[in-house]
Structure 1
């Protein structure tokens, strides 16, 4: 903290610096929202794939995947089963991606 800076100005500046540092440390990981991650978000994170790559692997649009991950829509039928497999065995999806 700058000794010449008013404490009322220094505290918010330090808070901003801490937030920026935290944001950089968590890039690429699931964001902490206070909610339990959806099966789609968990499966994608465990597979280590981007949204576009994971959506292409599942044969769906990136927008549909985003809706699933954010809880706006729920996957149905075979998609639910595939997501359960992806959570339990993420290597299976990586194998499919390389095939």
Structure 2
């Protein structure tokens, strides 16, 4: 996994064919293949390192996120649900979930407790989603 420098990223962006990439991603999704993968790696200080990797092995994003943001992202990742499905399951809007994941807002007490359950026991929420 290599991270592109700013110059390499700009050069790569100039050569992209977005229409072809979107069509390829659509075909891969239909076949159940992934085009981007997100990994969450807990850090000793309570934060979480999030690494987004493209299928070709290139690291698209590598960042450390706060423990509050990490809780929401880890809970959703553990369930394997999309943002819209996870938001519906929690009874919140997709926008609210996005605000939580981006750290602009924090979940309320009840929502925070449900997120802890989702992180520790994702099978419970997966069962509810089915």
Output the TM-score relative to the length of structure 1: 0.69
**Which residue in the other structure is 2:97 paired with?**
65
Per-residue deviation, 1:12: 4.3
Q: Which has the higher contact order (CA 8 A, sep 6+)?
A: 1
Q: Distance in 1 between matches of 2:8 and 2:116?
A: 44
Number of residue pairs matched by the alignment:
82
Q: What is the RMSD computed on CA atoms of the aligned residues?
A: 2.7
Matches for 1:5-84 after TM superposition, within 5 Å? 12=8, 16=12, 27-30=36-39, 31=52, 32-36=62-66, 37-84=69-116
Q: Which has the larger radius of gyration?
A: 1
Q: If each structure's helix is expressed as a fraction of its own residues, which one has the higher value? A: 1
Counterparts of 2:125 and 2:97 in 1: how far apart (Å)? 15
Structure 1 unaligned residues grouped into runs of 5+ = 1-10
The structure whose residues are more often strand, as a share, is: 2
Q: CA deviation at 1:34?
A: 2.5
TM-score by length of 2: 0.54
Gaps of 5+ in 2: 1-6, 17-24, 26-33, 40-51, 53-61
